[in-house]
A and B are shown apart, each in its own frame.
Chain A
Amino acid sequence: MSDVTETMPGPAGPQGATGGWNAVVGYLGGIRDVVVLEMKQRLRSRGWYIMVGIWFFVVAMVTWLTWLAWNASMEARRSTIPPSALAPQDGAGSMIFEVVLAFVLLFALLVAPALSANAINGDRAGGTLAILQITLLTPGQILRGKFCAGWLAALAFLATSAPFLVFGMFQGGLTPGHVVVSLLMLAVELAVVCGIGVGISALAGRPLFSIVVTYLVVAALVVGSLISFALGAQLAQGTVLANTPVGRPLSYVPVQPDQQGQPTEAVQPGYTCEGPLVEHSAVRTDRVAWMLALNPYVVVADAIPYPDRSGSAFYSVGMIEGISQGARSALAGPDHTFTCANGVQQPQYLKQSTPLWPLGLGLQVLLTGLLMWLGWRSLRTPASRLANGTRIA
């Protein structure tokens, strides 16, 4: 048996007295070390590369099929409508972009739980979590490190799909801003899902259970938010003060595509509001709009900018814009959407006054934060309580 030289200096004590800055650097260094450990393991597993490869292939297929479908439909339209009647924003890009974006978000929501929801209890089952806990790492560093590693792995998927969004941009009708904002929002949504997954994985005993629960939470955000909004709207019956719309003859204006970026005078609705204000029953969607806001699709769609079209009479609404407009009118409620509410003419096209996505993202971050906090509590050592059926080591 050989000798190990015992001349090396003892371990540096936990910093803190030397100033707050050192403590912050030390804390972040610990997180980085956990991320390095996690990424080394992930990058060496073949399954991860296979998943990225499949992802790339599927997004490529979706883009290609959308592009083919667009070309086919354009052929059909060119044979019936004169080219001058086509709206200028009708580039192939906006359709490809929207379809790819929707798919990437769908896949992101499917992949992120798998990448994050066994982060803690998988290690617990393998006996490696206690190895981390016994060191100077704090529960916060372990949890944040695991979260960052899961998020980075998910971002790699997003990065492989970015070329297709850029391809959509080059097909016309979009600016780099669209691509940047949507990638940013997709990244944020991935962070939300990864945070939920890591939090649940710290709370649940078994990896399978936590992965399933994370999928259910994601499903609740995507589908459950719509259902609860619809059901909630039925319960949110209220009233709105409005008087009576009286139709007025419209002077005939030939419909022309407006010049791009040059809105003409605001288009007036074809009625005036007259008579006394009376209470009408209405659905107070503004009270339940926050449920809709929890939906990742709403958050992403609402965050992507589009031009103010309140001045134009003729425009085509894409899917993203449609989701955003629908969500914002739900948030505005009957006071702004009911015909002649408060005796005021309500334009059909809602101005982008109050965006919904900050509320939705805030609620999502709140949920993630709560789960991460609960997960952090369960990682504290010396541990007082253990999850059912688990050993600490």
Chain B
Amino acid sequence: MSIAESSIVPDSGALGVSAEGVARRFGTVHAVEHIDFHAPVGKVTALIGPNGAGKTTLLLMLASLLRPDSGTIRINGLDPLRDSAAARLQIGWMPDTLGVWESLTAREILVQMARFYRLPKAGIVHRVAGLLELVRLDGLADQPARVLSRGQQQRLSLARALIHDPSVLLLDEPASGLDPGSRVELRTLLRRLAGEGKAVVVSSHVLSELDEIADGAVFVSQGRTVKQQTLEEAALQGRRYAITALDNAALTAKLSELGLEYRVEAGRRPSVTLLLTHDDGAAALLGELVRSGVGVVSFAPAAGALEETYMNLDTERP
């Protein structure tokens, strides 16, 4: 609950998506053992974890499709177990499997979804056209979904999740299969949706992506919440910088002289990495290196802030 308390006003603590002590098993497999999760409104929350950590299972429970064995879930204060219809009007869910009706056109799929949500008939055509434009499928709107590429189907799936203008978005690997251009668009779109006051939950493996769009992250591993942090917190913990120079020996000599701990990385180009706690230190170090005549070729963060946390979790795990 630290994110909620630190970033939004206490009044709206009940809003957004929250899960407390949620557990779920399938037979003898504990897919989710104990997860605490909160995604506040107006923010993009990343759900990060290795394969099989329970991300999809958690999202299914949040989406009111799976019943948790224990623990509570609230969607804008609603209990999806008791009040599923009301909760579902708030939830937009994009599964990791595409699941499109292949013989229907993109437009028909969205119209059907609008009907399943009982949207007023008069507005459906307009709404569908707007969404098709939003995900840039207006040119392919009347093609059967089976001719769409994976990335296009992915965008259709996103439009489908948005059809009833939900206030909570649960997106399972939304960026997988998207080309770089579409990724940038997805990023812009998610930021905008969050800006409109929706709670956006994104699960992903592509951590460098999440650095750009997420306000906070929940790390899960082996069915447990390992860490919750905001991007600011992630940035504060320091990050590893990679430096390459024309003369690697001169670089290492200078770093030793400054009394810094560094690591020589095995890569295609010889580079050196070291942990710096804040950006000011990085700037100072770069200035120092340049002044002392070390031919610095590149000086950049070796990994995103979330990736840094993720890799550290990985090493901490027994």
A positions within 8 Å CB-CB of B: 1-6, 8-14, 26, 29-30, 33, 36-37, 40-41, 44-45, 126-128, 130-137, 381-384, 386, 392-393
Q: How far is the CB of A206 from the nearest CB of chain B, in Å? A: 16
Q: A30-B116, A128-B99, A136-B116 are in contact. Are A382 and B127 (CB under 8 A)?
A: no
Docked-complex contact A393 and B89, CB < 8 angstroms: no
Docked-complex contact B65 and A8, CB < 8 angstroms: no
B81 at the interface (CB under 8 A from A): yes
- Interfacial chain A residues near B188, Cβ < 8 Å: 1
Docked-complex contact A133 and B134, CB < 8 angstroms: no
14 contacts between A and B (CB under 8 A): A4-B134, A5-B126, A5-B130, A8-B123, A11-B164, A13-B89, A30-B116, A40-B101, A44-B144, A135-B117, A381-B64, A381-B66, A382-B65, A383-B67
Q: A5-B130, A9-B123, A11-B117 are in contact. Are A382 and B84 (CB under 8 A)?
A: yes
- Interfacial chain B residues near A10, Cβ < 8 Å: 165
- Interfacial chain A residues near B98, Cβ < 8 Å: 127
Docked-complex contact B104 and A130, CB < 8 angstroms: no
Docked-complex contact B99 and A131, CB < 8 angstroms: yes
Task: Kindly specify which of B107-115, B240-248, B291-299 makes contact with the partner chain.
Answer: B107-115
Docked-complex contact B116 and A11, CB < 8 angstroms: no
Give the complex CA separation of A9 and B89 in angstroms. Answer: 13
User: Contact partner of B120 among A1, A12, A384, CB < 8 A?
Assistant: A12
Docked-complex contact B84 and A381, CB < 8 angstroms: yes
Docked-complex contact B164 and A383, CB < 8 angstroms: no
Nearest chain-A residue to B126 (Cβ)? Answer: A8
- Interfacial chain B residues near A386, Cβ < 8 Å: 26
Q: A127-B98, A382-B80 are in contact. Are A1 and B116 (CB under 8 A)?
A: no
Nearest chain-B residue to A16 (Cβ)? Answer: B85
Give the complex CA separation of A353 and B95 in angstroms. Answer: 60
Docked-complex contact A393 and B99, CB < 8 angstroms: yes
B118 at the interface (CB under 8 A from A): yes
Q: How far is the CB of A183 from the nearest CB of chain B, in Å? A: 30
- Interfacial chain B residues near A13, Cβ < 8 Å: 86, 89
- Interfacial chain B residues near A29, Cβ < 8 Å: 118
User: Contact partner of B165 among A11, A40, A384, CB < 8 A?
Assistant: A11
Q: A4-B133, A134-B65, A134-B88 are in contact. Are A128 and B101 (CB under 8 A)?
A: yes
- Interfacial chain A residues near B218, Cβ < 8 Å: none
Q: How far is the CB of A17 from the nearest CB of chain B, in Å? A: 13
Docked-complex contact A2 and B134, CB < 8 angstroms: yes
Docked-complex contact A6 and B60, CB < 8 angstroms: no
Docked-complex contact B95 and A130, CB < 8 angstroms: yes
Docked-complex contact A4 and B85, CB < 8 angstroms: no
Nearest chain-A residue to B95 (Cβ)? Answer: A393
Give the complex CA separation of A233 and B23 in angstroms. Answer: 55
B14 at the interface (CB under 8 A from A): no
Give the complex CA separation of A173 and B84 in angstroms. Answer: 59
**In chain B between 76 and 100, which residues have their CB closer than 8 angstroms to a CB of chain A?**
80-81, 84-86, 88-89, 91, 93, 95-100
Nearest chain-B residue to A36 (Cβ)? Answer: B112
Give the complex CA separation of A6 and B103 in angstroms. Answer: 29
Docked-complex contact A1 and B108, CB < 8 angstroms: no
Docked-complex contact B130 and A4, CB < 8 angstroms: yes
Q: For chain B, what secondary structure do more than half of its interface residues adopt (helix, strand, loop), or is it mixed?
A: mixed
Give the complex CA separation of A26 and B119 in angstroms. Answer: 12
**In chain B between 47 and 81, which residues have their CB closer than 8 angstroms to a CB of chain A?**
56, 60-61, 63-68, 80-81
Give the complex CA separation of A5 and B88 in angstroms. Answer: 22
Docked-complex contact A392 and B103, CB < 8 angstroms: no
Q: How far is the CB of A380 from the nearest CB of chain B, in Å? A: 9
Docked-complex contact A12 and B130, CB < 8 angstroms: no
Docked-complex contact B61 and A382, CB < 8 angstroms: yes
Nearest chain-B residue to A126 (Cβ)? Answer: B99
- Interfacial chain A residues near B88, Cβ < 8 Å: 134-136
Give the complex CA separation of A14 and B119 in angstroms. Answer: 10
Bitwise, B123-159 to A at CB < 8 A (1) or not (0) is 1001100110110100000001000000000000000
Docked-complex contact A40 and B103, CB < 8 angstroms: yes
Q: A8-B123, A130-B65 are in contact. Are A33 and B196 (CB under 8 A)?
A: no
**7 pairs of A and B residues whose beta carbons are closest in the complex:** A127-B99, A127-B97, A135-B116, A382-B67, A4-B130, A44-B103, A8-B123
Q: How far is the CB of B230 from the nearest CB of chain A, in Å? A: 26
- Interfacial chain B residues near A128, Cβ < 8 Å: 99-101
Docked-complex contact A384 and B130, CB < 8 angstroms: no
- Interfacial chain A residues near B116, Cβ < 8 Å: 30, 33, 132, 135-137
- Interfacial chain A residues near B20, Cβ < 8 Å: none
B189 at the interface (CB under 8 A from A): yes
Give the complex CA separation of A36 and B112 in angstroms. Answer: 9
- Interfacial chain B residues near A12, Cβ < 8 Å: 118-120
B209 at the interface (CB under 8 A from A): no
Docked-complex contact A382 and B66, CB < 8 angstroms: yes
Give the complex CA separation of A126 and B136 in angstroms. Answer: 25
Q: How far is the CB of A119 from the nearest CB of chain B, in Å? A: 13
Nearest chain-B residue to A142 (Cβ)? Answer: B116
Q: How far is the CB of B99 from the nearest CB of chain A, in Å? A: 3
- Interfacial chain B residues near A133, Cβ < 8 Å: 65
Q: How far is the CB of A274 from the nearest CB of chain B, in Å? A: 73
- Interfacial chain B residues near A382, Cβ < 8 Å: 61, 64-68, 80-81, 84
- Interfacial chain B residues near A134, Cβ < 8 Å: 63-65, 88, 91, 93
Q: How far is the CB of A25 from the nearest CB of chain B, in Å? A: 11
- Interfacial chain B residues near A383, Cβ < 8 Å: 65-67
Give the complex CA separation of A94 and B45 in angstroms. Answer: 73
Q: How far is the CB of A393 from the nearest CB of chain B, in Å? A: 5
**Listed residue (A29, A127, A383, A393) with the most chain B CB atoms within 10 angstroms of its CB:** A393
- Interfacial chain A residues near B130, Cβ < 8 Å: 4-5
- Interfacial chain A residues near B112, Cβ < 8 Å: 33, 36-37
Q: How far is the CB of B85 from the nearest CB of chain A, in Å? A: 5
